[in-house]
């Protein structure tokens, strides 16, 4: 089990495909920040709950930062303040 300070392992799935976490990190690297809903829409083959859990894991590990922008909207961005970022 990972602690809050450990990066989430960006592993391949059993089928050799990038994990949901890897795909989210690649999206954020390419397009900077996105709202949570934009991330979910950009990954149509991934369920909303899978996106939510992946972003939660990435946030808890410190790899991404969530900022509330209004109501229930959050902006997701890479955490560029990490020493290993």
Q: If you ran DSSP here, which 8-state letter would residue 10 be given?
A: -
pTM: 0.76
Query: What is the SS3 assignment for 67?
Result: strand
Query: Per residue in 39-81, pLDDT tens?
Result: 999 999 999 999 999 999 999 999 999 999 988 889 999 998 8
Q: Which of 12, 47, 41 is nearest to 27 (CA)?
A: 41
Domains and CATH numbers, the chain: 20-78 (1.10.10.10)
Whole-Å CA distances, 84 to 11, 42, 47, 63, 72? 18, 26, 29, 9, 30
Q: Is 47 left (phi over 0), alpha (psi -120 to 50) or beta?
A: beta
Rounded mean pLDDT, 11-37: 85
How far is Cα 8 from Cα 63, in angstroms, rounded to an integer? 8
Whole-number pLDDT of residue 2: 42
CB 20 within 8 A of CB 43: yes
């Amino acid at each position: 089990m990972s602690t809050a300070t450990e990066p989430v392992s960006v592993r391949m799935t059993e089928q050799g495909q990038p994990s949901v976490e890897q795909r989210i990190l690649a999206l954020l690297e390419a397009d900077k920040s996105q709202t949570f809903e934009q991330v979910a829409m950009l990954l149509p083959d991934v369920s909303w709950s899978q996106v939510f859990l992946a972003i939660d894991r990435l946030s808890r590990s410190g790899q991404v930062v969530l900022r509330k922008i209004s109501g229930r909207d959050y902006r997701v961005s890479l955490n560029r303040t990490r020493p290993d970022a």
